Amino acid sequence: METRILSADDPAALSVALDILRQGGVIAFPTDTVYGVGAHAFQPEAVESLYVVKGRPAEKAIPLLIASADDLFLVAAEVPEAVYRLAARFWPGGLTLVVPRHPCVPEAVSPGPTVAVRVPDHRCPLALIAALGAPLAATSANLSGQPSPATAEQVLVQLGDRIALILDGGPCPGGVPSTVVDVTVDPPVILRHGAISAEVILDALRNLR
């Protein structure tokens, strides 16, 4: 497969990206943390392609990107109060929240009872989600176990010929993956340290109690 690289600032590139996503394809795009690789979240075969592209173990769930906290009902079976309060403080931004998985979310996204969700602080994925009318199943645009890419060139080195399109938005401003917090347990637990420091997260969690 030949991988095309188009500018994320080119309006025509959005149409190309949407066509690929709607047809079950996989694309890479910039976010506020690192470059992501994504597919239509509600197309199981498209999500399964993400595992193949990355060489990702099947037991590792894939996070979802949504446009705002208002869209949580699309992917979460229930939304604990802690989710809304953390979302109000950190979304859009580098915080991923693990919530109970809605039955409409394919098992290809997450075979377990939970799903990880984030609202990115970057116009490119937000534009894709809004135009697609559905969440993106998305994870960092690297081969499994390799460094997360901060530029389109780094994505091409790792995933060239594995994906149809890379939207080039220049270097990602963050360069560090999101912090992951499981809010299905009480008290919530930090599962991965990342863009938002543990101290800031823990301070916010203390204020929830």
- Domain count along the chain: 1
* 209 band by pLDDT with thresholds 50, 70 and 90: low
Query: What is the average pLDDT across 190-209?
Result: 88
Whether residue 15 contacts residue 5, with contact meaning beta carbons closer than 8 Å, is answered with no
Q: Give this prediction's pTM.
A: 0.95
Q: Closest Cα to residue 28, out of 157, 186, 133?
A: 157
DSSP-assigned beta bridge partners for residue 189: 182
From its phi and psi, is residue 29 left (phi > 0), alpha (psi between -120 and 50) or beta?
A: beta
208 band by pLDDT with thresholds 50, 70 and 90? confident
Mean of pLDDT over the chain: 95
Q: Which domain holds residue 60?
A: 4-208
The whole-number pLDDT of residue 1 equals 83
Contact of 3 with 161, CB cutoff 8 Å: yes
What average pLDDT score do residues 52-72 get?
95
Domain of 49: which CATH number?
3.90.870.10
120: pLDDT strictly greater than 90: yes
- Of 24-33, 73-82, 134-143, the poorest mean pLDDT is in 73-82
Calculate what percentage of the chain has a pLDDT beyond 70.
Answer: 100
Main-chain phi, psi angles of 69, to 5 degrees:
-60, -25
Q: What is the pLDDT, as a whole number, of residue 133?
A: 96
Tell me the average pLDDT across 83-106: 95
Confidence band of 99 (pLDDT split at 50, 70, 90): very high
Q: Is residue 205 over pLDDT 90?
A: no
Q: 3-class SS at 172?
A: coil
Confidence at residue 21, expressed as pLDDT on a 0 to 100 scale? 98
Q: Using alpha carbons only, give the angle 92, 95, 97 rounded to the nearest 5 degrees.
A: 110
Report the pLDDT averaged over residues 172-195: 92
